[in-house]
Amino acid sequence: MAMINIEYMHPEEDPSDPTIRRRTNAVMAQYIRDLIFEMQMGDISCAFKETVTDGARDVRINGRAIPEIIDGLQIKMLEAEESCDFGSTTMIKFGRPTLDWKREWVEDVPDTIMKNAIAKVFADENKNQIDVIN
């Protein structure tokens, strides 16, 4: 089975934009730890590393940046008929659109895009392992 390694690289100071989704390094690191926990509960091998750098902020999944991973992917939201809550009432949310992302801040990556990037890397890694076995 594929191994997923996620590395969050950031300077010591927190992001300066108060409008992003995860406003501090600690919140972003905890978000990734929560994703790691979910994957481990699903019996997926994964690890998390947080690195303080002097350079740019980035999240690398198996060494690849999120924009590189999702390049060419068509990310679609579920239609009402495809969702598990079809026919039930839902809470109306006000705010930014789900896929809106300030790309200069990796801490602003939407959950949908982050999970799609992880899934894509996982699928690519599993494909590579299957190809090696055959």
Strand partners of residue 47: 5
pLDDT of the residue at 100? 82
pLDDT of the residue at 24? 97
Q: How far is CA 78 from CA 85, 93, 101, 112, 123, in A?
A: 11, 16, 19, 11, 20
pTM score of the predicted model: 0.81
Q: Does residue 124 contact residue 73 with C-beta atoms inside 8 Å?
A: no
pLDDT of the residue at 63? 96
pLDDT of the residue at 55? 87
pLDDT of the residue at 74? 79
Please name the residues in contact with 35: beta carbons below 8 A apart, sequence gap of 6 or more: 6, 114, 115, 118
Q: How far is CA 84 from CA 14, 61, 88, in A?
A: 37, 29, 9
- Tens-binned pLDDT, residue by residue, of the chain (134 aa): 679 999 999 999 999 999 999 999 999 999 999 999 999 999 999 999 999 999 899 999 999 999 999 988 877 665 555 445 555 666 665 666 777 889 999 999 999 899 999 999 999 988 766 555 55
The Cβ-side half-sphere exposure at 38, using a 13 Å CA radius, reads 9
Instruction: Spell out where the chain has E strands.
Output: 3-10, 45-52, 58-61, 64-65
Q: Does residue 119 contact residue 75 with C-beta atoms inside 8 Å?
A: no
